[in-house]
A = this chain, B = another copy of it.
Amino acid sequence: MRTVDVALGNRAYPIRIGEGLLADASLITPHLRTRRVAIVSNEIVAPLHLSALRAGLLAAGVDITEIILPDGESYKDWGTLNLIYDGLLAARCERSTTLIALGGGVIGDMVGFAAATYQRGVPFIQIPTTLLSQVDSSVGGKTAINHPLGKNMIGAFYQPKLVLADINSLQTLPLRELQAGLAEVIKYGFIRDLPFLDWLEDNLDALLARDPEALGYAVERSCLNKAEVVAADETEQGERALLNLGHTFGHAIETGLGFGVWLHGEAVAAGMVMAAELSARLGMIHSADVARVRRITERAGLPVQGPKLGAERYIELMRHDKKVEEGRLRLILLQAVGQGVIRDSAPLVDIAAAIDSCCA
């Protein structure tokens, strides 16, 4: 088992990474305040993984409430969040009850926000079952639901007590979702970890073949990168924004098409290519660097072009993003492969040109 510690003072917590962790309740029970949990999962994940988790906890004498939600980004809204509150209240869950999020990024984000807000805050544990949630959304305490006018517009920073990344759960993941998760893995290479990018270029086939050793390493290295950034800047006042490479473009794609048409990782992948293209247009990197972004993105089975919404519509949607400061679009660009940078000075005409050149 691999462990990555997220150093956040009195909100510090471990990420455990390995095969078969789901069934091992001894990893969970030290983090419970009382022997009472509410497991929140969805209709797709629950049949695959809930029974192993349940059996371990029951054997450890833990009382379990189960709340099963519909699956999909389109359900990451107030109505579904309310199903969690309803379930918790109907079961009379208390302030000491620990919420367990069993599922991908949507479940993790929603359960995290429910934990942040139910009775003004209850403990929670993340058990991410997708690659994307294992390497990104389950780590760092960002929780949220979507609003019709923007993705993740309603949320909170709220840290889990524990993250359990069971590599075995990636074996049953649809290929498209595995690929979407790789977008965030690749991102760490481009913004801050060139040796990892080199490793990814060498090991991409092993990852796509779901080699457990390669997956375990990729998850660990991604979490290490994310944990370092989050520990330095928990609430995204500065450096943490680097993690948003490709995200402002990507959010425009997700919102423009309607949540859930493209997977988050797919939108981020096309967004990364746009960010690289814009960086090259601004003279920050070479066209060969852009080609490197395109190549690994394409090899991972991810889109390198966005949908043809028109640059104006993209920019309008990007203006609704949370990364807007005093009316200026704050974007993450590359000043080298392996070195992201925050910029709010990119001219709109260049942003538009970069978008247009990356749409089909």
Residue ranges of A at the interface with B (Cβ–Cβ < 8 Å): 34, 78, 82, 85-86, 89-90, 92, 94-96, 113, 116-121, 142-144, 147, 149-150, 152-157, 235, 319-320, 322, 324-326
Contacts and interface: CB of A to CB of B under 8 A. Distances in A.
Contact of A326 (B34, B120, B144, B326): B34
Given A89-B147, A144-B120, A147-B89, A96 B326 contact: yes
Given A89-B147, A94-B325, A326-B96, A116 B320 contact: no
Nearest to A117: B154
Give the most central of A117, A120, A235: most B CB within 10 Å.
A120
A158 to B, nearest CB: 9
Tell me how many chains of this kind the complex includes: 2
Given A120-B142, A120-B144, 7 more contacts: A92-B324, A94-B322, A94-B325, A95-B325, A96-B326, A120-B156, A121-B156
A89 B153 CA distance: 9
A212 B117 CA distance: 38
Contacts of A92: 319-320, 324
A154 B117 CA distance: 5
Contacts of A116: 156
A316 to B, nearest CB: 11
A263 B320 CA distance: 39
Given A82-B78, A89-B147, A147-B85, A121 B324 contact: no
Given A89-B150, A121-B235, A147-B89, A96 B325 contact: yes
Given A85-B147, A326-B96, A155 B117 contact: yes
